[in-house]
Amino acid sequence: MKKFIEISLSLFLLFALIHHFSCSGDGPIETTEEIEFVSYQIPGCSSSSSLEKALLDDYCFTYSFKDTLKIDFCVVGNCCPDSNRFVTNYTINSDTLFVTVTDTAAHLCRCICSYVIHLELFGLPEDQYLFYCNYDSLIEYSEYVIKP
């Protein structure tokens, strides 16, 4: 019985040491800052007389990048309703920022508008990113954003 207790205690200590060294923070420590994401549609619609004109006028992309990365870009959608219709999600992988915009509104009328989406990201660790925007299953934007 004494031998069984010694073996059990030895195995327990061995397991505890293995667990400590495999799960402890003694290895490289990664510091991840909390990234905050804000996104909204700027109210209003830039209507145009034809779909072709709307698509040509749609390419708008501006950004500023100091402490906060701020991006404004356009997406084309149905005019009805003209507010609170877009859901925006993001992922960051290394130096690539991938944004997905989804139109949640039903197509209730026969006109097309260009809408401006505004994004703000706080706490980004890198000084430059490749920004991709996926809208309506297409890559709408592929732009570099660089901190001055």
Residue type at 69 in one-letter notation: L
Write the single-letter amino acid at 41: Q
- Would you say residue 75 lies in a domain? yes
Question: How do residues 10-64 score in pLDDT, each as one tens digit?
Answer: 333 333 333 333 333 343 323 346 899 999 998 888 654 444 444 544 468 999 9
Enclosing domain of residue 40: 36-146
In a domain, 24, yes or no: no
* Dihedral angle sign, alpha carbons of residues 118, 124, 130, 135: negative
Nearest of 64, 31, 29, 34 to residue 124 by alpha carbon: 34
Residue closest to 72 by CA, chosen among 82, 64, 62: 62
Is residue 105 one of the residues assigned to a domain? yes
- Out of 4-8, 74-78, 107-111, give the one with best mean pLDDT: 74-78
Residue 44 lies in a domain: yes
Number of domains in the chain: 1
Average pLDDT over residues 88-105: 93
Q: Would the pTM count as exceeding 0.75?
A: no
Is residue 17 situated within a structural domain? no
Q: Is residue 19 part of a domain?
A: no
In a domain, 128, yes or no: yes
| Average pLDDT value for the chain | 75
Identify the CA nearest to 37 among candidates 83, 65, 73, 69.
69
Residue 46 counted as domain residue: yes
